[in-house]
Amino acid sequence: MKFFVDTADTAEIKDLAATGLVDGVTTNPSLIKKSGRDFFEVIAEICEIVPGPVSAEVAATTLDGMLAEAARLSPIAPNVTIKVPLTWDGLKATKRLSAEGVKVNVTLCFSAAQALLAAKAGATYISPFIGRLDDIGLDGLDLISDICQIYDQYESIQTEVLVASVRSPGHVIEAAKMGAHVATLPPAVLRQLALHPLTDKGLAAFLADWEATGQKIV
């Protein structure tokens, strides 16, 4: 499973990218607002930090508007992925952009039917928002299971399932068991993946015993 980081905070991205475990980055208008920075400037900086796909989301809602914005965003860097909303205009834009070889991340997906349309339109990634489904009393992971099952039926579907709106390590593990290709994680969730209290307890005991031997390795 590939790990993307879901943030526009370049300090966080630098810190996490230094682990060598970050495959890409996703942003959205809310994350850009939170960064307080110029959209073009921050996307360019992220693209320099992470060589993998960096999603930059259009703000237009019409086909022509989305294509015009994509034409401004794509030249920022070769690793920019254009993010479009799952609307009819977004699907039309996906079809047009993917035919031109532009990578497209179709966002705000909340149903398997939407995911099927995005694949048919040639999306590089489909982003089902699982946390937001959980928030309204549904099970977001059921949607990941449905989409993975559907996509697996057709060799022609190359669209990758990019699990979004992730809230916990449990979301990541369950989605990985289903074969989802990518998870985009808030920095705190990515950090949590490495943690276990028994690791800390075990390490403390080993270090104490090692100290007691009086030996040194170097």
Tell me the catalytic residues.
Answer: 83
198's tokens: 């028994």
Q: How far is the CB of 43 from ligand E4P (least distance, A)?
A: 14
Single out the segment in contact with ligand E4P by CB under 6 A; choices: 90-98, 125-133, 145-153, 171-179.
125-133
User: Shortest distance, CB of residue 93 to ligand E4P, whole angstroms?
Assistant: 17
**Cα–Cα distance for residue pair 74/57, rounded to 1 Å:** 11
Q: Does 165 bind ligand E4P (CB under 6 A)?
A: yes
Annotate 101-121 with b (16+ C-beta within 10 A) or e (fewer). Answer: ebbbbbbbbbebebbbbbbeb
131 near ligand E4P (CB under 6 A)? yes
- Quick check: helix, strand or coil at residue 162? strand
**Piece of the chain touching ligand E4P by CB under 6 A; list 69-77, 114-122, 129-137, 190-198:** 129-137
129 counts as binding ligand E4P under rule CB under 6 A? yes
Distance CA 164, CA 199 (A): 28
Nearer to ligand E4P, 124 or 184 (CB): 184
